[in-house]
């Protein structure tokens, strides 16, 4: 239409009309997103007007102003400022500072300064325009209300939400009075109020505003008008925040179809809806569809605005966030670096949009394990935001929260708490105590308190967040359900397993609305698997882990960190089930995936290395286990430092390994871990107490029973205080006390401890849980020592049947119970039955672990003891020697010298040689055992005293046969 008019005016040589029509065409092209064509029309109009009327003519300045607005939309902010400043100077000179046209330009400069991040200058312009219009037109004139509305938007960007609401309400009341409640300008302000309320987390009020705006626009303009569609798009965004994803998708679909039909697939309004679709698909766990949307948006903006336009760079930044969420960290870094370089070039290094990208780069570096680089990015963003926006602006607080998360990862828990508290106080001041951002900060504090072992404080935080989110977003919002899931994790950590299961089930039911591939759904499924492991429901746990793994693999791909973590969890389950080959397959998948995705030194890679170490230790591959632990330890020390809790976890694992091998370095490892935990988490944290408990077990094995008792007492008091008398950690320590009292010969006290542990575990986990059965097994051993052989058999029978049911007939725990039955039958003189039990245990262990695993060799040694009792001395000798050679091959000669089961076998061989009259061989064995026990337990230990007597007896006989009937069998 305008094009025909222009051709007609050219024919008539009516220059005024030609230039006005060119100007109108420029406006039309700009509205359609055809920015190059718009610029050509404006330039044509401007050149003609300047030539016809001069550069200071009001009509020429109108076109200059339009060019400035166009340049602002293109991100050419310096050129836009030049245009607006030219118009302002000419208007002030020609028309005066308070003229209506001058004030329009002042208002436009405010819009420009806002885009440039010069918020103080923007406010100054808006205030000048407002005061000018108030003076010229009055406080309620429609011209006055425009800068009022703009001030509301500025205050919202500054985080001054109360001031923003006052401005919008003033604009709304004025427009309702001047034009009525259904005028399109009134409805624009209603829409802005909806945006404000959504940002404040007042989602019900936001929906009320959007619905009013939508109904009014549909009535005024029809359902397919672009302004109507803008509000439809906003409603979709609100529904997504509310967790109403089906309704959100319908809104986005309507908006997208409408924009495509009215404008084009590459129009900015279309592309804004395309972005929302991408964000929705990401939330729904549809990464392929999400990436298609983000790529569509990027191509459209590059085509419309060019590759370096700020709008394009914003899309590049969003793609980086998407790639980070899906574990494509190299692609994420490339996107963010491109966005950062572009924004620094256009806006400078300190613009708030530049700083947002700096913050995003920090997020990626955290995921990549580049924590020093991440801190530099966060610090740069924080200093920039504090300078540009103030210390309490929401953008500043977002970076403060990021720093808190970084410090938490680094184990700097004091610094993390300082950041999280600052974040919380800032949001409470800026947004109020019930805003979703405030509640997210509350959630962050809860997660930190859980790590610190402040479980009551953590629960208070999670409950506050949950109540607030239920009120703000509804009980089924994804934000609410994520908090429910957090509570489930806390309850599991507290040993409140029934409450944990209820929380997980609630979260899972709520997430079902988002679809089975939704990431949060799969996370909760995985958490349920962990819970079922704790409850001893290994079949249900495997089902959950398989579901989570398959879902994550389908949604995120096999090499995504979340998929690899699920594979790792399945490996841990298989390990606990005794399916060691399947466990290694899962661990290797996780390790290779992390190495490929994150590099060999990333902390997630090192976690997988550590887990392989645990598996190799279980398999008796002690050399391979130590190699894995040492690799993990060196990596953690490099990445986190020597005192980080992850580093200390691996130090503890090395301590356990060395303790099993009888290496004196075990105490050194435990001591290092203990000092580190005390420094990092405090003396009463449960992780600290676990190390105390391990030290107690080490001292007990070394025969340092008083020191063991001191450690156990500290651990028990700490666990009772931190978790209560019936928590599993408390009860495990009670169990250890029973073992200690048994070693001290305090059998009544031992029974009291075992019964307390048994009753507590039955109450917490049920009679068939594997931890309960371990205590049942211990009671059986105690009753055997007390000579209560019938009660012992009852306990062993219960333990064996329980393990067979829970873990299968060939699981290591089952086979250990079988081994103990062999010991009992031997004590009862039922030697054939004992041999039957030992042979079953031996076959199972050889199948599960191989013939040279330390647990297999223990059973071999027990068989040797049985053969001696049966008078089969040659078979006994052969069997003992098989066990000893196996220990030497598996552990190495140096480690065998202080390995308790090997020393018991050596002593038993000495007894056998003495019984056979081979006194030189007996002396060699006794001497070797004495040296080992002296190093391990000290010269005053019962074992050393017994061996000293045996050696003296050999010397006294001087060649006389002194038949000894003592043989040793090792209790599992």
Residue 474, classified by CB atoms within 10 Å of its CB into exposed (0-12), middle (13-18) or buried (19+), is middle
Cβ-Cβ contacts under 8 Å for 716 (sequence gap 6 or more): 730, 733, 734, 737
pLDDT at residue 965 is higher than 70: no
Tell me what pLDDT residue 13 has: 42
Instruction: For 475, list phi and psi in degrees, rounded to 5.
Output: -70, -20
Residue 559, classified by CB atoms within 10 Å of its CB into exposed (0-12), middle (13-18) or buried (19+), is middle
Q: Give the dihedral sign, CA 917/920/921/925.
A: positive
Q: Which two tokens stand for residue 420?
A: 């999280």
C-alpha span between 699 and 659 (Å, rounded): 10
Tell me what pLDDT residue 896 has: 86
pLDDT digits 0-9 by tens, 373-421: 999 999 999 999 999 888 988 899 999 999 999 999 888 899 999 999 9
Q: Is residue 887 a contact partner of residue 899, using CB atoms and an 8 Å limit?
A: yes
Average pLDDT in the 355-372 region? 93
Cβ-Cβ contacts under 8 Å for 747 (sequence gap 6 or more): 741, 782, 785, 786
pLDDT digits 0-9 by tens, 465-476: 999 999 888 898
C-alpha span between 345 and 348 (Å, rounded): 6
**DSSP label at 614?**
H
Q: Is 351 helix (H, G, I), strand (E, B) or coil?
A: coil
Average pLDDT in the 936-946 region? 86
pLDDT digits 0-9 by tens, 207-264: 999 999 999 999 998 999 989 999 999 999 999 888 788 899 999 999 999 999 988 8
Average pLDDT in the 90-119 region? 86
Average pLDDT in the 780-787 region? 92
pLDDT at residue 933 is higher than 60: yes
pLDDT at residue 951 is higher than 70: yes
Domain 391-473 top-level CATH class = mainly alpha
Residue 369 confidence class, pLDDT cut points 50, 70, 90: confident
- Of 41-55, 524-538, 664-678, 833-847, the poorest mean pLDDT is in 41-55
Tell me what pLDDT residue 16 has: 60
Instruction: For 536, list phi and psi in degrees, rounded to 5.
Output: 80, 10
- Please state which CATH number belongs to domain 181-305: 1.25.40.10
Nearest to 674 by CA among 694, 654, 691, 651: 691
Instruction: For 601, list phi and psi in degrees, rounded to 5.
Output: -110, 5
Which strand (E) or helix (H) includes residue 602? none
pLDDT at residue 949 is higher than 60: yes
pLDDT at residue 844 is higher than 80: yes
Residue 563 confidence class, pLDDT cut points 50, 70, 90: very high
pLDDT digits 0-9 by tens, 136-173: 999 989 899 999 999 998 888 877 888 999 999 999 99
Residue 15 confidence class, pLDDT cut points 50, 70, 90: low
The count of residues in the chain is 972
- What is the model's pTM? 0.79
Task: Residue 177: count other Cβ atoms within 10 Å of its Cβ.
Answer: 13
Mean pLDDT, rounded, of the chain: 89
Q: Which residue has the tokens 């939704």?
A: 518
pLDDT at residue 936 is higher than 70: yes
Q: Which residue has the tokens 């976690």?
A: 607
Helix 812-827 to helix 770-785 angle (10° resolution) is 10
pLDDT digits 0-9 by tens, 311-362: 899 999 999 999 998 888 899 999 999 999 999 998 899 999 999 999 999 9
Residue 854 confidence class, pLDDT cut points 50, 70, 90: confident
Domain 559-647 top-level CATH class = mainly alpha
Q: Is 852 helix (H, G, I), strand (E, B) or coil?
A: coil
Topology of domain 475-557, CATH:
1.25.40
C-alpha span between 172 and 203 (Å, rounded): 19
C-alpha span between 898 and 888 (Å, rounded): 11
Q: Is residue 462 a contact partner of residue 488, using CB atoms and an 8 Å limit?
A: no
Q: Is residue 479 a contact partner of residue 436, using CB atoms and an 8 Å limit?
A: yes
Average pLDDT in the 279-300 region? 89
pLDDT digits 0-9 by tens, 885-902: 998 988 888 888 888 899
Nearest to 52 by CA among 16, 94, 93: 16
Residue 969 confidence class, pLDDT cut points 50, 70, 90: very low
Q: Is 307 helix (H, G, I), strand (E, B) or coil?
A: coil
Tell me what pLDDT residue 20 has: 81
Q: Which two tokens stand for residue 230?
A: 């803008």
């Amino acid at each position: 239409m305008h094009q025909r008019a222009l051709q007609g005016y050219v024919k008539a040589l009516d220059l005024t009309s030609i230039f006005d029509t060119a100007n109108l065409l420029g406006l039309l092209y700009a509205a359609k997103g055809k920015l190059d064509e718009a610029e050509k029309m404006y330039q044509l109009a401007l050149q003609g007007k300047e030539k016809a009327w001069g550069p200071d003519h009001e009509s020429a300045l109108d076109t200059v102003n339009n060019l400035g607005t166009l340049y602002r939309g293109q991100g050419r902010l310096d050129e836009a400022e030049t245009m607006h400043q030219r118009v302002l100077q000419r208007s002030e000179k020609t028309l005066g500072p308070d003229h209506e046209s001058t004030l329009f330009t002042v208002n436009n400069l405010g819009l420009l300064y806002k885009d440039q991040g010069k918020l103080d200058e923007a406010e100054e312009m808006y205030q000048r325009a407002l005061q000018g219009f108030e003076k010229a037109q009055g406080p309620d004139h429609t011209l006055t209300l425009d800068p009022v509305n703009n001030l509301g938007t500025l205050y919202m960007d500054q985080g001054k939400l109360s001031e923003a609401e006052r401005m919008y309400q003033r604009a709304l009341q004025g427009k309702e009075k001047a034009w009525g409640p259904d005028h399109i300008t009134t409805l624009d302000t209603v829409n802005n109020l909806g945006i404000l309320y959504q940002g404040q987390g007042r989602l019900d009020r936001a929906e009320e505003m959007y619905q009013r705006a939508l109904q009014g626009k549909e009535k005024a303009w029809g359902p397919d008008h672009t302004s109507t569609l803008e509000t439809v798009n906003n409603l979709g965004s609100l529904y997504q925040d509310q967790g109403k994803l089906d309704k959100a998708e319908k809104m986005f679909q309507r908006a997208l179809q409408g924009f495509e039909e009215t404008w084009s697939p590459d129009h900015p309004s279309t592309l804004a809806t395309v972005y929302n679709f991408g964000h929705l698909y990401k939330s729904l766990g549809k990464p392929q569809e999400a990436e298609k949307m983000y790529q569509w948006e990027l191509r459209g903006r590059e085509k419309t605005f060019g590759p370096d336009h700020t709008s394009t760079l914003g899309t590049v930044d969003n793609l980086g966030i998407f790639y980070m969420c899906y574990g494509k960290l190299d692609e994420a870094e490339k996107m963010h670096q491109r966005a950062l370089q572009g924004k620094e070039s256009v806006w400078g290094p300190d613009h708030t949009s530049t700083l947002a990208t700096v913050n995003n780069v920090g997020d990626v570096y955290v995921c990549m394990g580049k924590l020093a680089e991440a801190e530099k990015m966060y610090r740069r963003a924080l200093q920039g935001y504090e300078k540009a926006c103030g210390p309490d602006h929401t953008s500043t607080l977002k970076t403060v929260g990021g720093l808190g998360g970084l410090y938490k990862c680094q184990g700097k828990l004091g610094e993390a708490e300082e950041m999280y508290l600052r974040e919380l106080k800032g949001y409470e001041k800026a947004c109020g105590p019930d805003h979703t951002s405030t509640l997210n900060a509350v959630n962050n504090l809860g997660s930190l308190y859980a790590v610190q072992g402040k479980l009551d404080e953590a629960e208070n935080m999670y409950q506050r967040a949950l109540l607030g989110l239920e009120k703000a977003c509804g009980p089924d919002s994804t934000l609410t359900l994520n908090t429910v899931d957090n509570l489930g994790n806390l309850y599991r950590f507290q040993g409140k397993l029934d409450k944990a299961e209820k929380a997980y089930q609630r979260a899972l039911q709520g997430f079902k609305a988002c679809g089975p591939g939704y990431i949060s759904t799969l996370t909760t499924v995985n958490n349920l698997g962990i819970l079922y492991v704790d409850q001893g429901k290994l079949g249900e746990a495997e089902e959950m882990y398989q579901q989570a793994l398959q879902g994550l693999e389908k949604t995120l791909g096999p090499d995504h960190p979340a998929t690899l973590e699920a594979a790792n969890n399945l490996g841990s389950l298989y390990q606990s089930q005794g399916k060691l080959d399947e466990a290694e397959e899962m661990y290797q998948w996780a390790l290779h995936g992390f190495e490929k995705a994150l590099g060999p030194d990333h902390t997630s890679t090192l976690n997988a290395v550590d887990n392989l170490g645990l598996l190799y230790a279980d398999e008796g591959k002690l050399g391979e286990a130590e190699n894995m632990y040492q690799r993990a330890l060196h990596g953690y020390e490099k990445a986190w430092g020597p005192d980080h809790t992850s580093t200390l976890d691996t130090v503890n694992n090395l301590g356990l390994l060395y303790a099993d091998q009888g290496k004196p370095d075990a105490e050194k490892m435990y001591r290092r871990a203990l000092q580190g935990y005390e420094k990092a988490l405090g003396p009463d944290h449960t992780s600290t107490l676990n190390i105390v408990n391990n030290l107690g077990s080490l001292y007990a094995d070394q025969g340092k029973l008083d020191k063991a008792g001191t450690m156990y007492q500290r651990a028990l008091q700490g666990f009772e205080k931190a978790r209560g008398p019936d928590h599993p950690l408390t009860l495990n320590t009670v169990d250890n006390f029973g073992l200690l009292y048994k070693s001290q010969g305090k059998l009544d006290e031992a029974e009291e401890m075992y019964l307390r542990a048994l009753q507590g575990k039955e109450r917490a986990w049920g009679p068939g849980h594997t931890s309960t059965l371990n205590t049942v097994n211990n009671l059986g051993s105690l009753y055997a020592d007390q000579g209560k052989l019938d009660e012992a058999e009852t306990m062993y029978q219960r333990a064996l049947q329980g393990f067979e049911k829970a873990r299968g007939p060939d699981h290591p725990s089952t086979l250990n119970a079988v081994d103990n039955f062999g010991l009992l039958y031997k004590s009862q003189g039922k030697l054939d039955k004992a041999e039957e039990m030992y042979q079953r245990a031996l076959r199972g262990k050889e199948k599960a672990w191989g013939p040279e695993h330390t647990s297999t060799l223990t059973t071999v040694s027990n068989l040797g003891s049985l053969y001696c009792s049966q008078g089969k001395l040659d078979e006994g000798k052969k069997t003992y020697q098989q066990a000893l050679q196996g220990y030497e091959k598996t552990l190495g000669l140096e480690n065998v010298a202080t390995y308790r089961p090997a020393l018991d076998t050596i002593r038993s061989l000495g007894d056998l040689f003495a019984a056979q009259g081979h006194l030189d061989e007996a002396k060699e064995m006794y001497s070797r055992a004495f040296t080992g026990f002296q190093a391990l337990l000290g010269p005053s230990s019962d074992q050393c005293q017994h061996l000293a007597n045996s050696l003296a007896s050999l010397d006294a006989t001087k060649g006389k046969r002194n038949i000894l009937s003592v043989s040793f069998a090792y209790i599992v």
